[in-house]
A and B are shown apart, each in its own frame.
Chain A
């Protein structure tokens, strides 16, 4: 259990540094990325590109190991069908993302910066997830 917690702590810290270095914690940058007909800032594409470049290669080697170091199996999504939930959910997420300029990673990473916006967004994000649990999963 301790191994899993420490490796998650390490991975989370690197994620937090990565989101900060790439300035994805700045919602203005996200809005400018999505504003393709305005002052477009393509930085986010470079963030996604840099990340995918790494995992594209690393995942191959990792999956070839057969199992992770601290667990008996890789836990990968079991769903393969493109269904209404995926499409509606992703559309709603995109609307929220465009409204506030925050997706889950950056807004949680911003919680320690000491201003109000991330607190409000994370609070309502959690409420949205619980609402989903109550309405859809129940």
Chain B
């Protein structure tokens, strides 16, 4: 096992749960990041657009402030060319829009509501991600 961080991961996860609880308790909305983003350009209401943008701003500022006090060292990766990043981003954007959710919306909010769709989606993207990494790392050997 490599760099396994059970305690900070659990603590960070609890914060994600608290965030999702606040958004549901106050605004009645699912804290699914892909849905929050796509709702900015799919929703005509100004209030809908504004709270979604506010969440995104908070997300960036929260991570920025944390990183300011406790710098996170992210090792540079080799072999990840711009075209590959673009293809990956397109797949994440198109896939989460078609599948109505990502790790947060399906994986956290949906699973805890016992939504069969979300539990299925979470299983599918986990398996698909695992297979992809297996092919890239162990078959192609990148």
Q: Return B6 CB to nearest CB of chain A, in Å.
A: 5
Q: Are B51 and A88 in contact (CB under 8 A)?
A: no
Q: Are A8 and B55 in contact (CB under 8 A)?
A: yes
Q: How long is the Cα–Cα vector from A108 to B92 in the complex, in angstroms?
A: 12
Majority secondary structure, B binding face: helix
Q: Are B13 and A68 in contact (CB under 8 A)?
A: no
A-B pair number, CB within 8 angstroms? 488
- In the complex, the chain B residue whose C-beta lies closest to that of A30 is B129
Q: Are B17 and A16 in contact (CB under 8 A)?
A: no
User: Known contacts A69-B25, A92-B98: does B138 contact A37 (CB below 8 Å)?
Assistant: yes
Q: Are B97 and A128 in contact (CB under 8 A)?
A: yes
Q: Are A12 and B57 in contact (CB under 8 A)?
A: yes
Report which residue of A19, A55, A103 has the largest number of chain B beta carbons within 10 angstroms of its beta carbon. A55
Q: Are B63 and A85 in contact (CB under 8 A)?
A: no
Q: How long is the Cα–Cα vector from A29 to B2 in the complex, in angstroms?
A: 9
Q: Are B20 and A55 in contact (CB under 8 A)?
A: yes
Cβ < 8 Å to B, chain A residues 32-77: 32, 34-44, 46-56, 58-59, 62, 65, 67-71, 73-77
Q: Are B9 and A46 in contact (CB under 8 A)?
A: yes
Q: How long is the Cα–Cα vector from A43 to B90 in the complex, in angstroms?
A: 26
Q: Are A85 and B99 in contact (CB under 8 A)?
A: yes
User: Known contacts A12-B58, A98-B133: does B4 contact A22 (CB below 8 Å)?
Assistant: no
User: Known contacts A55-B21, A85-B99, A104-B37: does B10 contact A90 (CB below 8 Å)?
Assistant: no
Q: Return B36 CB to nearest CB of chain A, in Å.
A: 8
Q: Return B22 CB to nearest CB of chain A, in Å.
A: 5
Q: How long is the Cα–Cα vector from A122 to B89 in the complex, in angstroms?
A: 7
Q: Are A98 and B129 in contact (CB under 8 A)?
A: yes
Q: Are A58 and B21 in contact (CB under 8 A)?
A: yes
B133: chain A residues at CB < 8 Å are 31, 34-35, 38, 98
**Would you give 6 A-B contacts (Cβ < 8 Å), ordered by A?**
A20-B72, A34-B129, A74-B29, A89-B96, A89-B98, A96-B95
For the complex of A and B, list the 7 residue pairs with the smallest distance between their C-beta atoms, beginning with the closest: A128-B93, A50-B13, A89-B99, A22-B12, A16-B62, A12-B58, A94-B128
Give A residues with C-beta under 8 Å from B: 1, 3-29, 31-32, 34-44, 46-56, 58-59, 62, 65, 67-71, 73-77, 79-82, 85-105, 107-113, 115, 117, 120-133, 136-137
